[in-house]
Chain A
């Protein structure tokens, strides 16, 4: 069965960086895009960007350009999302999700990773 398993919760200080992983299983990893979506406490969903594991190509939403880097390791079917210069308002649950094409629906989601930014 398809699974996206994310790394565990993180607590970071303002100005630090965080790297969240998303390990895929149950399907051909390079055939799907991996997206990152975050949800601040009590708020809605916000798309951050995506990666095409087959090529390594990425696209970030404007709000995250210059601060978010997505990378992948096809040998272990894992995508990473690293965010730098963390602020308190980056406190959120970060989800990965897959889609068969860039403009296609997200059919499976990871369980989410809570990132807390606090001094």
Chain B
């Protein structure tokens, strides 16, 4: 199972960033999003398509339908600059985890 993300997304501070994650019928799976800043471990920012862990700002939201899941970051801040990885559990074949290739968000 393959997850496809754009390599990079750029947005000005205060604007909205949309990061896509494409996969065959991904809308039927639960998608999780991880944020990774340089030299740091990933941090879960959205799970089960649209839920936020405790401590994650409401500016982070998610959606998932059809063949595309989307992470939306509203009112982007400089501190949001990071790589973002989508993740799903492939439960229909070999029961394994798959990550997208990652999207580097640049805040202009």
Contacts and interface: CB of A to CB of B under 8 A. Distances in A.
A25 to B, nearest CB: 16
Given A103-B89, A103-B91, A107-B53, A47 B47 contact: no
Contacts, number: 55
Interface majority SS (helix, strand, loop, mixed), chain A:
loop
Contact of B102 (A44, A59, A105): A44
A119 interface: no
B44 A45 contact: no
B85 A44 contact: yes
A110 B41 CA distance: 7
Contacts of A109: 41-43
Interface stretch (B18-26, B65-73, B93-101): B93-101
B interface majority secondary structure = strand
Nearest to A62: B94
A90 to B, nearest CB: 18
Interface string B24-58: 00000010101010000111100110000100000
A37 B48 CA distance: 20
B96 A44 contact: no
Interface residues of B, number: 24
Interface residues of A, number: 21
Contacts of A46: 99
Interface string A91-105: 000010100001111
B48 A95 contact: no
Contacts of A52: none
Given A105-B32, A106-B32, 10 more contacts: A37-B42, A44-B85, A44-B99, A61-B97, A103-B91, A105-B30, A105-B44, A105-B87, A109-B42, A112-B41
20 contacts: A35-B97, A44-B85, A44-B99, A45-B36, A45-B102, A46-B99, A47-B99, A59-B95, A62-B94, A62-B96, A95-B41, A103-B89, A105-B30, A105-B44, A105-B47, A106-B44, A107-B44, A109-B42, A109-B43, A111-B41
Interface of B: 30, 32, 34, 36, 41-44, 47-48, 53, 85, 87, 89, 91, 94-102
